[in-house]
């Protein structure tokens, strides 16, 4: 059990869910502290029946803390988390800043728990779109090594933070009223629209979000030979990311074999009855910690190909839940 646990970004969208999960799952610690930016410091919140005052995040605020769960922008993670490590804390980081550092573990507990247990000081939690895909790929990779993945994502506005969802709601109201809306997060209207760019430009015309799916998937699955071709699209859905995934494996995997493997794997639920119109939807996946899979079928263009549909709550398994599961894993092995 950890003595003192600090949650950074405790008042944000993901931080609020981290607090909810720590309380709901009865995470044990002698003391909890909640940290945020100067703007949000002083906020009152209730946790496990006790009122807390949110403290300001500073470089010297980590004395006596032995576990940090951080949900912050990349620059905050870069500037502050090393100070937590220097103070002796183990850090679980939700940002993208440290993920591809070769000295940092990138962990999904259902896939590579040992990497977390062997981590030196910081454990990174993957990008939300990567997480649900990697969870879906792992049981297939265990049956026959994954060689190539083609993925298109349909990503909810909550992935852009609280303002992203505000943009969707207020932009939709303005559209229906025939009024102009000044979007704060998105470069283009997201209401009644699709935006085929998430993140900034990277190599060969791909975006940073797309390249995260390439590099993070390889690191999590421990196989740099896996080819990943990603297209990431922002869609007018408030929460839960959806993905169409086509995977080629070394040997053929039938839909029946895949479903059997998924059903045995922790954290995956299969909903797949096309005739009855039953498959995962963002509206029915919202608020769940599971990765949902449906529309499972053979790829008609490849003898070793399999196609499926995957939905998951990007704020939960894609972020908060994965971080709390890492914390639970570490706590369990501390005795």
Taking only the tens place, the pLDDT of each residue in 36-80 is 999 999 999 999 999 999 999 999 999 999 999 999 999 999 999
- CATH superfamily of the domain spanning 2-126+319-332: NAD(P)-binding Rossmann-like Domain (3.40.50.720)
What pTM does this model have?
0.96
| Residue 211 pLDDT class (50, 70, 90 cuts) | very high
Please report, to the nearest 10 degrees, the dihedral formed by the alpha carbons of residues 136, 141, 145, 150 taken in order.
Answer: 0
Q: Which residue of the set 61, 141, 240, 241 is catalytic?
A: 241
| Residue 1 pLDDT class (50, 70, 90 cuts) | confident
Taking only the tens place, the pLDDT of each residue in 84-102 is 999 999 999 999 999 999 9
Q: Which residue has the higher pLDDT, 192 or 120?
A: 192
Taking only the tens place, the pLDDT of each residue in 236-257 is 999 999 999 999 999 999 999 9
| Residue 334 pLDDT class (50, 70, 90 cuts) | confident
Q: Which residue of the set 61, 128, 232, 310 is catalytic?
A: 128
Residue 335 has pLDDT above 80, yes or no: no
The DSSP secondary structure of 37-106, one letter per residue, reads: -TTTTT-EEEETTEEEEPEEP-TT--TT--EEEE---HHHHHHHHHHHHHTT-EEEE-SSSSTT-TTSEE
C-alpha distances (whole Å) from 198 to each of 153, 160, 239 are: 10, 9, 15
Task: Please state the rounded mean pLDDT for residues 276-282.
Answer: 98
Residue 241 bears catalytic tag:
yes
- CATH superfamily of the domain spanning 130-314: Dihydrodipicolinate Reductase; domain 2 (3.30.360.10)
Residue 143 has pLDDT above 90, yes or no: yes
Residue 333 bears catalytic tag:
no
The DSSP secondary structure of 143-176, one letter per residue, reads: HS-EEEEEEEEEE-GGGG-HHHHHHHHHHHHHHH
Residue 328 has pLDDT above 70, yes or no: yes
Both tokens of residue 10? 């405790």
> Domain map of the chain by residue range?
2-126+319-332, 130-314
DSSP letter at 265 equals: S
DSSP letter at 126 equals: P
């Amino acid at each position: 059990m950890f003595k003192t646990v600090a949650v950074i970004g405790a008042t944000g969208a993901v931080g609020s869910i981290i607090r909810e999960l720590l309380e709901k799952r009865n995470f044990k610690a002698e003391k909890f502290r909640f940290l945020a930016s100067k703007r949000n410091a002083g906020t009152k919140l209730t946790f496990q029946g006790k009122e807390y005052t949110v403290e300001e995040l500073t470089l010297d605020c980590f004395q006596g803390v032995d576990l940090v769960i951080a949900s912050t922008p990349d620059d905050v993670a870069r500037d502050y988390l090393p100070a937590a490590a220097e103070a002796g804390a183990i850090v679980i980081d939700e940002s993208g800043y440290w993920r591809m550092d070769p000295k940092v573990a990138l962990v999904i507990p259902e896939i590579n728990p040992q990497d977390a247990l062997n981590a030196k000081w910081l454990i990174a939690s993957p990008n939300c779109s990567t997480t649900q895909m990697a969870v879906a790929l792992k049981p297939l990779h265990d049956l026959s090594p994954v060689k190539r993945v083609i993925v298109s994502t349909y990503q909810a506005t909550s992935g852009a933070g609280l303002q992203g969802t505000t943009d969707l709601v207020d932009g939709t109201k303005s559209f229906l009223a025939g009024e102009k809306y000044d979007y704060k997060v998105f470069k283009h209207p997201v209401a009644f629209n699709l935006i085929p760019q998430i993140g900034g430009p990277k190599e060969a015309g791909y975006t940073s979000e797309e390249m995260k799916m390439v590099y993070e998937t390889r690191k999590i699955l421990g196989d740099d030979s896996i080819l990943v071709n990603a297209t990431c699209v922002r869609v007018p859905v408030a929460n839960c990311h959806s993905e169409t995934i086509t995977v080629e494996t070394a040997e053929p995997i039938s839909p029946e074999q895949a479903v059997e493997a998924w059903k045995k794997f922790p954290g995956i639920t299969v909903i797949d009855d096309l005739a009855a119109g039953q498959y995962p939807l963002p509206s029915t996946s919202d608020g769940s910690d599971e990765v949902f899979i449906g529309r499972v079928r053979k790829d008609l263009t490849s003898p070793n190909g399999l196609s499926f549909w995957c939905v998951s709550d990007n704020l939960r398994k894609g972020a908060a839940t994965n971080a709390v599961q890492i914390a639970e894993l570490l706590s369990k092995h501390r005795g």
